[in-house]
Structure 1
């Protein structure tokens, strides 16, 4: 029989007020659920992570537990609210969870970065194996190098993209010319203007991608300038500010299926691309200056699996779905190619979309791969 436990894990202290809820701050805990089969005594725990998603009810937990491992879904301190999220603090939260699982008697830890957890899991493992980071991109102290992070024994990138900053930049709308107005647009860079496609010509794709990076870097430069201005206020005041980013679901692959070909359908995780591009529930519209640099900045965010996996010595499995419209085949191949040893595996789940909607048998197949590879 499967049983479920709620784990209250001591939360490493943060350096600033970045959690709105006083209840959450004062509890001093992050939370996870642990599933296991009470007829077995597993020694392996599979820990599934994401920077901000609530994984207490993750779809893979019961399937994994049925296969004889302890399955753990983690919530970081930023669960449900990434507007002030600092990736380096999420690394500390994973470290606290792994240490807690060792205290519970689990000797083998498989770290699974799911969806937006891919870049975070890669950053964690690289820093646990080769700790170097002592401050955030904004310059705030965060001593990953001295945190005593325990490396996971294996790493899985499951239905994952290489990192929030990477996929965010790939979806950043370069046609927006006024950061305050999503509808003041450059017609020469507007993917929603039918004169350009789809399908989109190679010249347009190249120009569009360069303009996306340029917009991201302009916002990063502005964020640094604003932080400097805050240090010059006449009176003590805030050291961070919130701001809005319009146009974050404008990846050309959402409408052009000839780019990064796969079995996916056109569209986004949030529906029609034009609507998703500006609706508040889609990706990363509200952020702070410091969070932008840590979480969304193309140049400054460290949670980039393409870069971090180069420094990982643990075995790495990359699992992707052929019908996924958020984590594309090139993401999976790029992460697999970044691993610099031969203890790696690339697995395609044919027909699987990002959340295995309506296909629980395909989710079970992913869990089969993870457990068979972990034992």
Structure 2
């Protein structure tokens, strides 16, 4: 049976993203540097203050932030997690592997998709009525590997036992490619899906809020007095079609990062999460009284406005679809007035969506 917390989330924002606002390619392929994408900075909206929006390029981030601010980044690296597969009857599929780490409750999570078609070049969603998944289904993978489905986790995801001829990371490097959706114009190399902070491979999809950072920009932030600290959260396979809430993911908050979060908050600084993955990791490691502790575990935390946030004061994130569960997290951080104002501004100004698109810095306390 699907997990009850994975029902599509209701949101309080109502908007439509025109197809032309889907970023089709990395910034570099569009004639920009990585830090040349657009940055919308939203401020205020709390305690009756009117929200405001400023338009920058991402390269201006050091000037936008204050000395003493702490950026917490996800250092998970992206895996080539899409694999071709063959059914027992010879039919072809694409398998998306959800992170390098098997869920301790049942093994590796996988999604079956239609193989790429000429129209989009990307593997396509399989509706439940057309999905061949069932317990015991055997899939033949490249290089003599196999996957056997065991039990459904959701209507989209299944647990699977993998039989591989090599360690998973080596196997994926030899036979996999980056997961790609239909709004991206072609297959791009795995390097296009890595952030400058990527140090620990394990994510099925890029922690994309950090993609615009460059080594030069990091140096400029440090020179400005902005602090940077890592967490690790290995992302699972997203759901652009179903907008499911996040499911369990492996994360780690190092002791040094937990201590720095505590120090910055105690001295009146701002803790700004770079991406929703960072919010999820930090909030999973923070007690109800606001104390952030080292952690190395799995999290199934779903952050909503009713739950609120305890560890972060701001969020740097990409733009999300109208029904995306992440909007609930964004509202928990920013409040609805600021979030709605930013999305109206982004749509009016033609900001680009998805992993190669533009970004939004939410600072609900202003400053």
TM-score in terms of structure 2 length: 0.31
TM-score in terms of structure 1 length: 0.31
Structure having greater relative contact order (Cα 8 Å, sep ≥ 6): 2
